[in-house]
Structures are given as C-alpha cells and as structure tokens.
Amino acid sequence: MKKTLIALSTGLFSVSAMAQDMMGGVGDKGYYALGAALVLGLAALGGTTGQGKVGAAAMEGIARNPQSAKALNTPMILTLALIESLVVLSFLIAFFIQNKF
C-alpha cells in the first residue's frame, strides 16, 4: 500500500514539471491531458472491477444451481454490456476533454 501511494504521488506531482509549455508555466493543455488520463484510467479500473464481480457472481449462481444457467445468461450479458457502455462513455468524455485545447 505504501509503495503504491508513493508511486501515485510521484506520478501526480511530477506532471506539472513534465507538462510545462514554452513560456515556463503549466498551461491548460497539461491539465486537460491529465484530466483525460485520469478519466480513462478510473473508467478502465472501475469497468474491469465491475465486470469481474458480475462474472464471479454469475458463475457462483450457476455453480449453486446449474439449472439456472439459461436464466442467468441474459441478465449477465445485459449487465456486462451496460458496464462496458459506461466505459465507452468515459472514453468519449476524455476525448472531448482532450480536444478542448
């Protein structure tokens, strides 16, 4: 946990040094790029976590009651599609944030 926190803080605090424009200050472009990167990273993390939990719950339900496999298949696929649509929506938001400048 401590190593992760150190790596995360190092990455976040060094962005201002790497995103400087020609005038010496941090412009809006660097902050827009950082915001877009954070949106994509958090969306991918949340989407994969949610899809993993949905898949695990469906497999556990099928393992407990094998006759319910056909009944669980459609809601599971629908839920996975809705989770994936939220990730795609965050990709579009990040794309619009990135093209703001």
Per-residue pLDDT of the chain (101 residues; tens, 9 = 90+): 666 666 666 666 655 555 554 455 556 777 888 888 888 889 999 999 999 999 999 999 999 999 989 999 999 999 999 999 999 998 888 888 877 75
The confidence score (pLDDT) of residue 95 equals 85
pLDDT reported for residue 2: 67
pLDDT at 79: 93
User: Rounded to an integer, what distance in angstroms lies between the CA atom of residue 75 and that of residue 50?
Assistant: 14
Q: Show the 3-state SS of the chain.
A: CHHHHHHHHHHHHCHHHHCECCCCCECHHHHHHHHHHHHHHHHHHHHHHHHHHHHHHHHHHHHHCHHHHHHHHHHHHHHHHHHHHHHHHHHHHHHHHHCCC
Domain ranges of the chain: 28-98
What pLDDT was estimated at residue 18? 56
- Our measurement of the distance from residue 60's CA atom to the centroid of its chain's CA atoms, rounded to an integer in Å, reads 25
Level-2 CATH architecture, domain 28-98: Up-down Bundle (1.20)
Phi, psi of 24 (to 5 degrees): 100, -10
Please give the model's pTM, rounded to 2 decimal places.
0.65
